[in-house]
């Protein structure tokens, strides 16, 4: 399973990462920041990281469990 980390100091709550995640992993939290609501569904595709205009979200692939 991959780990998705959001850096709130850089995030401007634009929602792009939420919109682009093909697996519905991310949702907007009560504070407006994206949160990882469904971590088990994450494939580690890194779309969220690549689309974030503020470099505020980083995906760390767990190389021990991923097959890719
Ligand atoms: S790495 Fe891919 S599946 Fe995981 S949260 Fe980001 S966009 Fe969604
Ligand atoms: S795309 Fe980046 S700046 Fe926008 S909500 Fe997601 S983490 Fe925050």
Pocket test for ligand 2, best of 6, 11, 35, 46 (most atoms within 8 A of CB): 11
Q: What is the DSSP letter of 37?
A: S
The answer, yes or no, to whether any atom of ligand 1 lies below 6 A from the CB of 26, is yes
Domain 3-60 has CATH 3.30.70.20: yes
Closest CA to 26 of 13, 9, 44, 39: 39
pTM: 0.90
How do 57-60 and 3-6 pair as beta strands?
Answer: antiparallel
Q: What is the DSSP letter of 39?
A: G
- What pLDDT, on the 0 to 100 scale, is given for residue 62? 78
| Domain locations in the chain as residue ranges | 3-60
pLDDT tens-digit series, residues 31-48: 999 999 999 999 999 999
1 pLDDT tier (thresholds 50, 70, 90): confident
Give the SS3 label for residue 61. coil
The label of the residue with tokens 């407006």 reads: 32
Q: Is the pLDDT of residue 65 over 70?
A: no
Handedness of CA 51, 64, 28, 13 (dihedral sign): negative
- How confident is the model over 42-59, as a mean pLDDT? 98
């Amino acid at each position: 399973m991959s780990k998705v980390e959001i850096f709130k100091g850089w995030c401007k709550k634009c929602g792009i990462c939420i919109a682009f995640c093909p697996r519905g992993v991310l949702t907007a939290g009560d504070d407006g920041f994206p949160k990882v609501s469904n971590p088990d569904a994450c494939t580690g595709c890194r779309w969220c990281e690549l689309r974030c205009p503020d470099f505020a979200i980083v995906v760390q692939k767990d190389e021990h469990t991923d097959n890719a």
